[in-house]
Amino acid sequence: MSVVLYNCPGDLPSEVATWRGYLKAYDPAMDFRVWPETGPVEEIDYCLAWMSKPGDLKRYPNLKAIFWLGAGVDHLLKDKELPRNVPIVRLVDPGLTAGMTEYVLLHVLRYHRRTPDFEEQQRQSHWRQLEMPLAKDRRIGLMGLGVLGQDAAAKLMGLGFDVAGWSRTMRQVEGVSVFSGEAGMTPFLARTQILVCLLPLTPTTAGIINTRTLAALPKGACVINAARGGHVVDAELIAALDSGHVAHATLDVFQPEPLPVEHPFWRHPRITITPHVASQTISETASRVIIEGLKALSDGRSPANVVSLEKGY
Ligand code: NDP
């Protein structure tokens, strides 16, 4: 019998009950505990965690793995006392991926079809037909060509867009013009009319949307950040918008969250804000992924999507 600790402070009792139901359906003998009611800490085999308290995960001396219930592990890796001797498995889940791709398509299409311009015209009761290029003539740039970037790329190409991607290492992705590393960044940005950030937040990617990178985009480009707030240097994005070099930005993530009421992003006429909802962990699909991971470990195999502590994602 395995002992699983659900360690997601702030989750609603109904969410906890749903997770309990899915996991107990897989293994009726499982002892499913909910933080902070841990029972004897040495009995805990696995932690399912999200936004766990820093320092908490080191309290379980016989832990076999941590399953992080999100794709980005930046919050977790900030924990200086994080156990480094157990696999940390991040969430790669079809439901999470589908949600992000919907978000990317929604906001790319919104810019492609000039919706902010029409919204502005509507405010002025102004009827004017604006030109719009075909999708094949709209160049989309995805920063991050991992699980989320590649799925968004495939669906964008399905609509006919001209898609490029930028990654740390060189990748072959059919139909996508791939750029990599520092050397690939400027040419990637120079051909990007709609930039979508889907990078993990690491010391290398923090503040990557800044004066220098925004200036490398063509004038009138739009920016969509669905990754982490720490990727954006807020004041430099506002300056690029105010100068007219960047036409519009859609931001789902912020530093800090919730975005403080006095933050200038809220009132900027050319910023669209969503409250970190680009994609959400859906227990129905995510629990299947976690169960696969638990099965792998109980069979002595390595689970998929173990985080590299060295790379930081
Ligand atoms: P992956 O790990 O699958 O992909 C990350 C991609 O970023 C890879 O292509 C990687 O390059 C690239 N990358 C990493 N570091 C660099 C760098 N220094 N320079 C260039 N490229 C780099 O992650 P996912 O696609 O699963 O998720 C991406 C992020 O999306 C998550 O970390 C999370 O922060 C965010 N997210 C946001 C959500 C929201 O609701 N707003 C929901 C879910 C995720 P390489 O291919 O060479 O490894």
pLDDT for res 208: 98
Q: What's the pLDDT at 226?
A: 98
pTM above 0.95, yes or no: yes
* Active centre residues (catalytic): 228, 276
Distance from residue 280's CA to the centre of ligand 1 (Å) = 16
228 lines ligand 1 (CB under 6 A): yes
- 55 CA distance to ligand 1 middle (Å): 25
Is residue 147 within 6 Å of ligand 1 at its C-beta? yes
40 in Cβ contact with 60 (< 8 Å): no
- Confidence at residue 127, expressed as pLDDT on a 0 to 100 scale: 98
pLDDT, residue 249, reads: 99
Task: Give residue 228's pLDDT.
Answer: 98
60 vs 39: CA distance, rounded Å: 11
Residue 223 structure tokens = 């920016």
Closest atom, ligand 1, to C-alpha of 200: 32
Question: Given this model, what pLDDT does residue 205 score?
Answer: 98
Contacts of 71 (CB under 8 A, 6+ apart): 90, 91, 92, 93, 96, 147, 148, 279
Low-confidence ranges of the chain (pLDDT < 50): none
**Best mutation site among 176, 182, 198, 231 for ligand 1, i.e. most ligand atoms within 8 A of its Cβ?**
198
Task: List the residue whose alpha carbon is closest to atom 43 of ligand 1.
Answer: 71
